[in-house]
Structure 1
Amino acid sequence: MDSGDGTVTYELRDRVAWVGLDRPRKRNAINDALLSDLAAAARRAQEEARALVVFGHGPCFCAGLDLSEHRTREPAEVFHHSRAWHATFSVLRRGRIPAIAALHGATVGGGLELAAACHLRVADATAFFALPEGSRGIYVGGGASVHVARLIGAPRMMDMMLTGRVLDAAAAERAGLAQYLVPEGGAREKAGELAAKVADMAPLTVLGVLQALPRIQDMGEDDGLFVESMMAAFAQTGPEAAARLADFVAKRGAKVSNPSEG
């Protein structure tokens, strides 16, 4: 396992890159060193993995910005600091492989922004979510205005910022912050299960889901449907599509089943 300067761990297992925030005594609070190491780990994963899991070592996923290292900055410095966060999280969000966040304990402020930059989020029963920037007299700067607001809607985000409301894991799942809710201690296992599944997907399908689908959300209806048709045509040119469709027709492929019957 590689660990950079101690702020992030990296391990490649069975086509899945495991990226761990590793400042447990600081509740994995994000400082500039961690941000840089996270970007490097995410870029490495794009080259050698088929899926990526981000998790936190220690008592929580991430408690947000490291306020102990925060200092007064001029407005221009704040702007560029914020843009550095955007650039790092963009490596996950706009990368070529699916990123899955395994969440436990505090997923707060910048930690929530990091989770929102991933494509899938698994929360265990101990996870809780907040955007405390408002109560601290500052504003979010790691992408929450776009990514968190798109997950839960601007009114819910306003509530969290204006009142300091904290969502437990169940409320977060209902609001759309997490797609999966698992028992305490189960987030990494479930994230690994999902990562193994998506690592086996046809690359052109993954490309469509990661690159086309988010952009379609920003388009008008006609343009979005046009891009969907183009992506459908493109994906079907891949050798995996023909093989998997043939398996299904020959009854060798898995059928969709009712999970309540499993």
Structure 2
Amino acid sequence: MTHTDVVRITRRDGIAHLTLNRPDKRNALNDDLIATLDAFFSAVDDSIRAIIISGAGGHFSSGLDLSQHVAREPLQVMAHSRNWHRVMALLAQSPRPVIAAMTGAVMGGGLELAATCHVRVAEETVRFQMPEGMRGIFVGGGGSVRISRLIGADRMTEMMLTGRSYSGAEGERLGLAHHCVSEGHALAKAFELAENIVRNSPTINAFIIQALAQIATMPPEAGLYAESLTAALSQSGPDAEEGLRAFLEKRAPVFR
């Protein structure tokens, strides 16, 4: 498959929909797929205000394509992992909200990919799992940081040691998903959420994503200072003026 084959990309009303398209491999993440994500998130069109990621064939992603990793030297593995970190950071730091519509297998690297997304929708039949311990490998796509932040290092340790899997409903309770829906409804819910999100100010969406992520890693006083600075920037701009005017005029705001 070429890079354009492994991820289908459609655009509609300010929403880009990326479909991981390796259904015969349960959308296992290979180098071509990661390169396609890299190319897309490195040059997102200005007309796009929200992004949805889903998987073809009933699965989000079964994780790393192990067929590409049978024999690599340690430095090669490290370089590969660091490239994943760079690409995953493009998603996590995207000023445009990224929504994961999760179905079927959300395992290993697939869960690492989902953890970079700002909003996560899971179907009840989803299977969350970190099977690396059973494969004799360690995570390499950022999961030790991002998944641990979602569910705690203790829970992630247990998942990796035992290979334990969680359903969509269990994942929602743990923090792996924000919304749990019945089978067949994840994508519709993701579009519903995206359609609401694109009505927000693009600037404020970016502040919410990027400022909160940075503040979470700061000492409390530094975080509070950053909060005040972000508030000052947001409340002195044209979007705040439009939002207030729309509220007083009892209409929906129109942000540019």
**What TM-score bracket applies, with the shorter chain setting the length?**
over 0.9
Whole-Å separation in 2 of the counterparts to 1:50 and 1:202: 9
Give runs of aligned pairs for residues 1-262 of structure 1, distance below 5 A. 4-45=3-44, 47-252=46-251
Deviation of 1:90 (Å): 1.2
Count the aligned residue pairs: 252
Deviation of 1:69 (Å): 2.3
Question: Does the CA-based 8 Å contact 1:46-1:97 persist in structure 2?
Answer: no
Query: 1:206-258 deviations in whole A, cap 9, x for unaligned?
Result: 1211111100000111110110011011001221211211222344459xxxx
SS of 1:52 mapped into structure 2: strand
What code does the residue aligned with 1:188 have? L
SS of 1:247 mapped into structure 2: helix
Deviation of 1:4 (Å): 4.0
Deviation of 1:11 (Å): 0.8
Deviation of 1:70 (Å): 1.9
Distance verdict in 2 for CA 1:139–1:46, change over 3 Å: farther
Whole-Å separation in 1 of the counterparts to 2:12 and 2:140: 33
Whole-Å separation in 2 of the counterparts to 1:46 and 1:169: 32
Distance verdict in 2 for CA 1:59–1:251, change over 3 Å: closer
Whole-Å separation in 2 of the counterparts to 1:246 and 1:117: 35
Give the root-mean-square deviation of aligned CA atoms: 1.5
Distance verdict in 2 for CA 1:248–1:47, change over 3 Å: closer
Question: Does the CA-based 8 Å contact 2:3-2:32 persist in structure 1?
Answer: no
Deviation of 1:173 (Å): 0.3
Whole-Å separation in 2 of the counterparts to 1:28 and 1:120: 20
Whole-Å separation in 1 of the counterparts to 2:151 and 2:45: 28
Deviation of 1:193 (Å): 1.0
Whole-Å separation in 2 of the counterparts to 1:46 and 1:109: 30
What code does the residue aligned with 2:61 have? C
Structure 1 segments, 4+ long, off by >6 Å, are none
Question: Does the CA-based 8 Å contact 2:3-2:35 persist in structure 1?
Answer: no
- Bigger CA drift: 210-219 or 237-246? 237-246
TM-score for the superposition, normalised by structure 1 = 0.92
SS of 2:243 mapped into structure 1: helix
Whole-Å separation in 2 of the counterparts to 1:175 and 1:234: 34
Whole-Å separation in 2 of the counterparts to 1:45 and 1:57: 22
What code does the residue aligned with 1:172 have? G
SS of 2:34 mapped into structure 1: helix
Gaps (5+ residues) in structure 1? 255-262
